Structure 1
Amino acid sequence: MSTVDGVGPDELGVRLKEFEGRPAAVAGVGKDPVNAPMIRHWCEAMGDTAPAYRGPRAVAPPTMLQVWTMGGLRGHEGRTGAYDELLGLLDGSGCTSVVATDCEQEYLRPLRPGDEVTFDAVIESVSGRKTTKLGTGYFVTTRMDVRVDGELAGTHRFRILKYAPARRTPPARRPGRPRPVVNRDNAGFWEGVAEHRLLIQRCTGCGILRHPWLPGCNACGCLDWDTVEASGEGTVYSYVVMHHPPFPAFTESDQAADAAGPYAVGLIELAEGVRMVSNVVGVPYDKVRIGLPVRAEFRSYEDEGAEQGALALPVFRVVEGEG
């Protein structure tokens, strides 16, 4: 039979099943009573404007049930060691990764500001060994009963998958370079780039140029527009230097110096007055400065097997003699 890092599934499964029914928290007490400020913050974050959550007779949104039981960084005094012991056993068997899969809540009475919440938690179930796309492991479900003055207010079930990550076969070919998102509003710009033309939108109502492309003018509201072709001349208005691990998609030998990183990404002010974000190339990243003159050029990237064909991108090269 197959194993999880040397522990037979039947042996491990039996040991895990022994945790079912064991308490994970006993007589826990919420660190704060139900309170109006926390309700307000929750509703603002969720965009919930229901009148039931405001005013002198306000109740807490039912979905806040677990909020009142959270222990913060230091945890709760009522917490037992059973849950940590269970997770430690899974870690030791090779199930070192975890992902939350779902939760279920049942509401029995509303919670109101001033209510003092108490709770008990139990390890309700541990599944048999399961194989998923993430890897092989076990689903662990805990149930928390939330009470106010001894009366059950609600039940929260939380389920995780604790698993050993699947061993993934590396891709047969280098992944393709990430492509820009093209939609109906900016398709014309990328069509121009494919033809090695830098097109700028121009409002036909007020004549203002704009970039990025928009469906309408943000100055006068006119929905009609045409385009002008930029000269490609510009200056570095601002810039950042990117530091990140090497990506397989950015290893073209002919541009390795620009792709290996660190590299500069600039906000370029074109001669026409609009600004555009793109890579600054042609000088080391630590030589890029605000005000440096640049000129647009276009690069093509061939992605083996890509259905969309070659990818063209505009970059800005420092004008020769500068930098």
Structure 2
Amino acid sequence: MSGEPEIHEEFEARLKAYAGRPAAATGVGRDPVNEPMIRHWCEAMGDTNPAYTGPDAIAPPTMLQAWTMAGLSRRPERAAAYDELLTLLDASGHEAVVATDCEQEYLRPLRPGDRVTYDSVIESVSERKTTRLGTGYFVTTRTDVRANGEPAGTHRFRILKYAPAHRPDPPREKRPRPVVNRDNAGFWAGVARHELLIQRCCGCARLRFPWLPGCNDCGCPDWDTVAARGTGTVYSWVVMHHPPFPAFDPPYAVGLIELAEGVRIVGDLVGVEHERVRIGMPVRLEFRRFDEELVLPVFRGVAP
């Protein structure tokens, strides 16, 4: 145990030796500064400053990093020193990473037509820090941006490479309860009996879902119900990734199902990988118990 501080000191000395070494080779912006990207940025940010439009337009200063990003289809050329540093941290158990903050300094405006070049260095590696996420090291890179060869700004980006703190798994939360009221209580009573009940207007015989107190077509307030046969097809669907809720296990597919009776209902799609869900895919109604109180209709994909 007495040697542990020396081990940490030696390891941190190795990390700090990377300060000042290149994080990326000299790079060239994928595109010159241009009006379409400025417009898209301003629309996304809701920024209506007139300085960003017209013949004398400049780019919003906070777009500084945007002109150095390589896009999703390719990654910037990282220097060997930066990869070595990350590999060293990974090998020591600090495999998790999170971006913590960035700082920008602006030296001159960027204008449409400017060609952006940049250099990036490892500016610093912190001492070991303990955070709520875990124990690790903050790594700061500095990117010096030039426009047509002139200094235009500096972008500092900081990440935390850390070993995640152990946390006991929280108890599984229950799914949210459906809102039951006097207009739909009969539907949920049917679900508890493993019946999916569809309202039928006593005036015009039109089927409707979700349940309503009266008919939207003829205005008749009287209705009875028919039980769905339990077959249908996928009319549309989404795959839920975010935000994660404790009671769910993303990714999962939720479908808008067109029942054989002609009405549509939203429900979980089960029994089929979410990547294989398709519009028109046949489904079969099932009832699944999620806890001691909650039963919900779900729809199982039927293989063609």
Q: TM-score normalized by structure 2?
A: 0.65
2:227 maps to which of 223, 232, 245: 232
Correspondence for 1:312: 295
TM-aligned CA deviation for residue 170 of structure 1: 4.4
How is 1:141-180 mapped onto 2 (pairs within 5 angstroms)? 141-170=140-169, 175-179=172-176
Does structure 2 conserve the Cα–Cα contact (< 8 Å) formed by 1:232 and 1:270?
Answer: no
Tell me the SS of whatever aligns to 2:226: coil
Q: Contact 2:38–2:60 (CA<8 Å) still a contact in 1?
A: yes
1:227-261 Cα distance to aligned partner (Å, 9 max, x none): 96643325533139999xxxx989xxxxxxxxxxx
Shift of 1:169: 3.5
User: Equivalent residues in 2 for 1:124-273 (5 A)?
Assistant: 124-170=123-169, 175-179=172-176, 188=181, 194-196=188-190, 211=209, 230-234=225-229, 236-239=231-234, 267-269=257-259, 271=261, 273=262
Q: Distance in 2 between matches of 1:141 and 1:315?
A: 49
- Quick check: 1:275 aligned with 2:275? no
Q: CA RMSD in A?
A: 4.8
Structure 2 Cα separation of the partners of residues 82 and 301 of structure 1: 51
Q: CA deviation at 1:111?
A: 0.8
SS at match of 2:143: strand
Q: Kindly provide the CA deviation profile for residues 189-216 of structure 1, in whole angstroms up to 9, marking residues without a partner as x.
A: 77655544678899xxxxx9865689xx
- Residues 291-323 of structure 1 show CA distances to partners (whole Å, capped at 9, x for unaligned) of 9897x88655435xxxxxx22323579xxxxxx
1:276 positional shift: 0.6
5+ residue gaps, structure 2: 201-205, 240-245, 271-279
| Within-5 A mapping of 1:6-45 | 8-25=7-24, 27-45=26-44
Question: Displacement of 1:67 after TM fit?
Answer: 1.4
- Cα pair 1:95 1:137 within 8 Å, conserved: yes
Letter in 1 for 2:76: G
Report the TM-score when normalising by structure 1.
0.62
Report the CA distance between 1:2 and its aligned residue.
Answer: 11
Distance 2:102 2:297 in 1: 46
Q: CA deviation at 1:85?
A: 1.6
Aligned equivalent of 2:95:
96
Number of aligned positions between the proteins: 266
Please tell me whether the aligned partners of residues 198 and 228 of structure 2 are also in contact (alpha carbons under 8 angstroms). no
* Alpha-carbon distance change, 187 to 105 in structure 1, aligned in 2, over 3 angstroms: farther
In the TM superposition, residue 140 of structure 1 has moved relative to its aligned partner by 0.8
Identity of aligned residues (%): 58
The 8 Å contact of residues 232 and 259 in structure 2, kept in 1 or not, is answered as yes
Q: CA deviation at 1:279?
A: 5.7
